[in-house]
Amino acid sequence: MLRRLIAAAALLAAALTAAPAAAAGGPLRDLAEARGIYLGTAVTGDRLTGGYADVAADQFGSLTPGNEMKWDAVEPTRGSHDWSRADRVVAFAEAHGQRVRGHTLVWHNQLPGWLTGGTWTADQLRTLMTDHVTAEAGRYKGRVDHWDVVNEPLAEDGTLRRSVFGATLGESYIADAFRAARAADPTAKLYLNDYSIEAVGAKSDGMYDLVKRLLAQGVPVDGVGFQAHLILGQVPASLEANLRRFADLGVDVAITELDVRTTLPATAEKLDRQKADYASVVRACLAVTRCAGVTVWGFTDSDSWIPDFFPGQGAATLYDEDLYPKPAYDGIAGALAPVTPPAPGVCSVTYAVTQQWAGGYTAQATLRNTGTAPLDGWTVRWSQPAGQRVTQAWNTALTQSGTEVTASHLPYNATLPPGGSAAFGLNGTWSGTNPPPTSLICTSGT
């Protein structure tokens, strides 16, 4: 029931959103952060100016270079690196307080011609691969939050893909790539990334078994990326359970390349369905504690790989070709809306930080009697996920236990007529970040 209320509140918040950039209290990146995940996008580095750059910076907390970090881009000639396009995306992210998902160190596509055109012994190929991982992960040491160390290692049936790496080196290339990445950048989270592993099935079973084997060998796998290149109306019902079973192995999970393609033209009905699809993927991530975040594979239909690869299909992203937000934007904003379900018909409560300074803040909460009878006493509860401590409160009797805060009425503001409200305030300390409460509820009674 509570879940349904939350979903209803989220949809309502989305429906009321006229200006998406200010949706539900903030841009997507802030909404996501307040819910404990990041919302990222793939970008095309050459396009990071003007309106495209504004949306990329304002709405997303993480950037993935769509092509700029691939092997063919960074080492077009053997032994001679060109980091300029990758550097540009990383610098842009740093200038806008964004994380970077590095994509990708070892993949069978977009390899340089000198590599695919050469003839290599297994030893030579292994050394070329680990040298490449060492050079690239080393170059961005400390600046990349997640690396897709190995991309798309599996065939459709869940066995090892017979790529140049798989066929020549066998499964051991994966362990070698991860170990080289860990040595080159000890703080980056190292991911295996693949597509068509979103549902429980043969391919995701293969990935599950692979991760288990790698962990058993002490290979530093920190996470599994689920690309999620989805077809309209086909978000797998088992997505959440699938994410959870991987998390239960002791790795993080993330949605890394989300898009939802449809046949063209995209009608209003299809875009509504797409909105629901985007929202349900975000909700699946939110439901799994170890889900680090969701990345969309391009945020505008003018920068999507779909029309080139699937003729007759497209409209797969959140913004149209003119950078106007589509219903899918509201779907994500709604799914990420703050969890503040009012007790229906009894009371509602709002919370806002009114002042913040290094290490400290002041917040104000207002409780309102939304029922038809007088409220005889009230209690407001919330949780402060980032270790904030309340040091002082007024107009309420407040206690804190760990991250949980309870604020109750005092004799003089216990009784509220229908429509009446009571405000109370507090001072607190914070460090790192000061996100809003992750849950905020009021109850009536003494």
- Residues identified as active-site: 152, 257
Q: How far apart are CA 398 and CA 421, in angstroms?
A: 18
Q: How far is the CB of 151 from ligand G2I (least distance, A)?
A: 6
Paired residues of 225 in beta bridges: 193, 254
Q: How far is the CB of 188 from ligand G2I (least distance, A)?
A: 18
In this complex, which beta carbon is closest to ligand G2I, that of residue 160 or of residue 426? 160
The binding site for ligand G2I (CB under 6 A) comprises 66-67, 109-110, 151, 195, 227, 257, 305
In this complex, which beta carbon is closest to ligand G2I, that of residue 240 or of residue 257? 257
In 1-142, which ranges are E strands? 38-43, 62-65, 99-106
Q: How far is the CB of 248 from ligand G2I (least distance, A)?
A: 25
In this complex, which beta carbon is closest to ligand G2I, that of residue 59 or of residue 317? 317
Q: How far is the CB of 67 from ligand G2I (least distance, A)?
A: 4
Give the residue among 369, 377, 438 at the shortest CA–CA distance from 412: 377
Q: How far is the CB of 40 from ligand G2I (least distance, A)?
A: 14
In this complex, which beta carbon is closest to ligand G2I, that of residue 257 or of residue 301? 257
Counting Cβ atoms within 10 Å, is residue 197 exposed (0-12), middle (13-18) or buried (19+)?
A: buried
Element (H, E) at 123: helix 122-139
Q: How far apart are CA 16 and CA 7, in angstroms?
A: 14
Within 10 angstroms of residue 195's Cβ, the number of other Cβ atoms is 18
Give the residue among 330, 264, 248, 282 at the shortest CA–CA distance from 14: 330
Q: Which residue has the tokens 């990445």?
A: 181
Q: How far is the CB of 438 from ligand G2I (least distance, A)?
A: 32
Q: How far apart are CA 353 and CA 442, in angstroms?
A: 18
Could you tell me how far CA 153 lies from the centroid of its own chain? 22
Q: How far is the CB of 187 from ligand G2I (least distance, A)?
A: 23
Dmax (CA) of the chain: 84
Amino acid in the structure at residue 283: R
State the residue number with the nearest CB to ligand G2I.
Answer: 305
Q: SS3 breakdown of the chain: % helix, strand, coil, rounded to 5? A: 35, 30, 35
Torsional class of 110: left (φ above 0), alpha (ψ -120 to 50), beta (otherwise): left
How do strand 38-43 and strand 291-296 relate by DSSP bridges? parallel
Cβ atoms of residues 445 and 376 within 8 Å: yes
In this complex, which beta carbon is closest to ligand G2I, that of residue 259 or of residue 330? 259
Contacts of 212 (CB under 8 A, 6+ apart): 249
Amino acid in the structure at residue 9: A
